[in-house]
Structure 1
Amino acid sequence: MQQYDTNPELERRLFNKLLDVLIKAGLILALVITCYGIFSPFLTLMLWALILAVTLYPAHQKLAARLGQRQGRAATLLVLCGIVLIVLPTIWLTSSLADTITGFIHAMKENSLQIPLPAESVANWPVIGKKVYGIWHQAATDLPAFIQSMQPKIGNIAKTALSMVASMGTGMLQFIVSFAVAGIIMTYGLPGQQSARAISARIMGEDRGDEFATLCTATIRAVAQGVIGVAFIQAIMLGLVMAIAGIPAAGLLALFALILGIAQIPAAVIFIPCLIYIWSSGDYATAPAIAYSVLLVISGLADNVLKPLLLGRGVDAPMPIILLGALGGMVSSGILGMFVGATLLAIGYQIFMAWVAGHHLTPLAGKPAQLDDRTETTDSGNAS
């Protein structure tokens, strides 16, 4: 057999080089893990602030142009408007949701919850009719025994609901802080834009860095404006009308409207039962009933006007992807996680499909669009 001579000096040098690389990689990994541990409590907040900044930056630039390019003043006015028009109504509806949950739990503990008897037709429902009728009838006739029979399931649900109520205050505070941080990011928008391009070029290479940044920007604006923004505004409008009209559980219904809006399910699922309640309860005079009904219909159909205004053609990502991102984000990180999860999953889907197709990262051919207010139209086109 042929034998190969070994060079001890060469082996020693290679071993030292490999050891140096492993030590440096380990130190870098330790630094990354440490930095992530420090930054992780603020990760969702900062991501949502960044999404807000990217989404609102074109409006910020237009406002700054009217104010003589005063970037800080324009950002301050935009943040204040956002807090007044979005955050304050959200806090009101969240408070209503918390009151509904705590009131329901209190009524269950005090055995004061009144559940109406089920109609006989419920038993005729296919497959589940008899089971639903039996459970409903037991809950309506003997609620304490029903609660006792459902333990510990109801106890676990109650604990989860109370923890959710306790976290709502923190979520609202994060929501306000995220607007303030977004204002700071928009104030320094140009350096931030240059940094984003540099990071993209470093990750994807000089040739495709701008395409990658353009795709992320277009997707963020498309999802935040055309999907989440429309659903959020419509949910707030419906929630405010329901709260003013005195419809029970207005905050909870507004949350359902938000989830249905992200899933692109018509808001008629929410406002039609509310109309039935207004006209069948007998608690409303004719004039207020007509006024509340008109406002509910206008709010429920507002998405038909909001979608063309905020973004003409939507986002090139399946609605199940956005819905899964929203629900998964809400479970893991609360209300802010709903918005962040939907946006990030849509970005990941876009990048993955572009990689699978083997095409350029930007949906449109030609020179990559610039990431400023002058090419807002191009970004919207890329998103569609």
Structure 2
Amino acid sequence: MNHQVKEQHQLLTGAAVEAAVKIGALFILISWCFQIVRPFLVLIMWGGIIAVALFPVVKGLADRMGWKLGHASTLMTLLVLALLLVPSILFSGALITETHELVTELKDGSLVIPPPSEAVARLPLVGDDLHQLWQKFATNLEGALVSYGPQLKDALASLASSLGGVGVGILQFVVSVIIAGVFMSNAESAGRLFHGIALRMAGPQGESFTSLSVATIRSVTQGVIGVALIQSLLSGIGMGLAGVPATGLWMLLVLIVAIVQLPPILVLAPVMIYLFSVQTTTVAVVFMVWGILVSASDAVLKPMLMGRGVDIPMLVILIGAIGGMLLSGIIGLFVGAVALALGYKLFSAWLAREGLAEQGAAQPQPEPQPESEN
């Protein structure tokens, strides 16, 4: 009897050791694979988000033109890359040229800054200080540069760092667009893969969660990126009509500020101050009103564009987008919104299940009927 128990113990010990070795080897393999893929995770996530957002357009184009899905995906990828790279190259060339000219004028002493008008001094809160600072640079540029040299050096260093970050971001976005094109070209196989993962992770609810994730990404795209593009375009129209130089640069700044969920008035306010100093009062006032309306337009546009086709309150999606952006940058706009939407859906299902359970417990049970006498 003891011999049998000892053999069983040895068998169980051997099985446990074998299972531990297999689990350890599997864990090492998964960890190794994760470390290899980790540098590309952000690019793959961006590619998936872009593919989800653009796929309806690609599918509609393929159906309308009678093309294969791969051809429509390739055309859309090239168009997006052109829209991204052409303005970036033009902006970079203009920035290099303007910087070179500015440095040359500073060395030659030929740089002239026009004096501020009295309208600048009448601006609330910052008018007097801004007028005095502007006057110093207009009358004694060399002395002002010596006085404010450290502040200008820090500001230029921050600007250069920001421009470098923007360049890296554009390069990452280019790679992500190419990955999105691959996803869209293989939409059926990619859809089956993600659908299978969702079913494996969430069971029967996986399909509904997958649909919710796709709808949330498209909702955030419309409500955040779409509103930012509209505000940037409206701002550019106003600045172009008002004669503001470097309108394209200001439009880009408005787009970035609007995407990170800050009011565009932060960018448009310096433009308003500039127009009050160089344009007539009528033009400056009209642009100021236009800029305020553009900055406040998200209060009307977001309810119209965000949350369409999603059975989730717009406030939940907006909080998820803003919180995700604060936590993980621009990509957090989408990941945060999807995560909070899924969490809200799970919480609502749990509340509904608890409510049904309480309702069933509160209902009186039917009394047993007395047996009829034969």
**Counterpart of 1:349?**
340
SS at match of 1:223: helix
**Counterpart of 1:377?**
none
**Counterpart of 2:221?**
224
- Please state how far the C-alpha of 1:290 moved relative to its aligned partner: 11
With over 3 angstroms needed to count, the CA separation of the structure-2 counterparts of 1:253 and 1:72, relative to structure 1, is closer
Q: Retained in 2: the 8 A contact 1:101–1:161?
A: no
**Counterpart of 1:173?**
171
- Please state how far the C-alpha of 1:271 moved relative to its aligned partner: 3.3
With over 3 angstroms needed to count, the CA separation of the structure-2 counterparts of 1:107 and 1:270, relative to structure 1, is same
The one of 8, 14, 17 equivalent to 1:16 is 14
CA distance in 2, matches of 1:52, 1:257: 18
Q: Retained in 2: the 8 A contact 1:64–1:71?
A: yes
SS at match of 1:263: coil
- Please state how far the C-alpha of 1:224 moved relative to its aligned partner: 1.8
Q: Retained in 1: the 8 A contact 2:199–2:206?
A: yes
With over 3 angstroms needed to count, the CA separation of the structure-2 counterparts of 1:253 and 1:71, relative to structure 1, is closer
The structure with the larger Rg is 2
Return the letter of the residue paired with 2:320: I
With over 3 angstroms needed to count, the CA separation of the structure-2 counterparts of 1:313 and 1:195, relative to structure 1, is closer
TM-score, structure 1 normalization = 0.65
Query: Highest relative contact order (Cα 8 Å, sep 6+), 1 or 2?
Result: 1
Matches within 5 A, 1:227-376: 227-232=224-229, 234-235=231-232, 238=235, 245-247=243-245, 251=249, 254-255=252-253, 257-263=255-261, 265=263, 267-271=264-268, 273-282=270-279, 308=304, 312=308, 315=314, 317-330=316-329, 338=330, 340-359=331-350
RMSD (Å), alpha carbons = 5.2
TM-score, structure 2 normalization = 0.66
Q: Choose 64-73 or 48-57, whichever is displaced more.
A: 64-73
CA distance in 2, matches of 1:102, 1:346: 43
* Long gaps (5+) in structure 1: 126-131, 331-337, 362-384
Once the two structures are superposed, residues 149-194 of structure 1 have per-residue CA deviations (whole angstroms, 9 ceiling, x without a partner) of x89xx76x76665444334333222222322221221111122111
CA distance in 2, matches of 1:161, 1:305: 31
Once the two structures are superposed, residues 316-338 of structure 1 have per-residue CA deviations (whole angstroms, 9 ceiling, x without a partner) of 525343223224433xxxxxxx1
Return the letter of the residue paired with 1:49: G
**Counterpart of 1:381?**
none
- Please state how far the C-alpha of 1:259 moved relative to its aligned partner: 3.0
With over 3 angstroms needed to count, the CA separation of the structure-2 counterparts of 1:147 and 1:276, relative to structure 1, is closer
**Counterpart of 2:196?**
198
Q: Retained in 2: the 8 A contact 1:354–1:360?
A: no
In terms of fraction of residues, the more helix-rich structure is 2
Q: Retained in 1: the 8 A contact 2:319–2:337?
A: no
With over 3 angstroms needed to count, the CA separation of the structure-2 counterparts of 1:101 and 1:165, relative to structure 1, is farther
Identity %: 24
Pairs aligned (count): 335
With over 3 angstroms needed to count, the CA separation of the structure-2 counterparts of 1:95 and 1:219, relative to structure 1, is farther
**Counterpart of 1:67?**
65
With over 3 angstroms needed to count, the CA separation of the structure-2 counterparts of 1:76 and 1:216, relative to structure 1, is same
Say whether 1:209 aligns with 2:206.
yes
- Please state how far the C-alpha of 1:293 moved relative to its aligned partner: 8.6
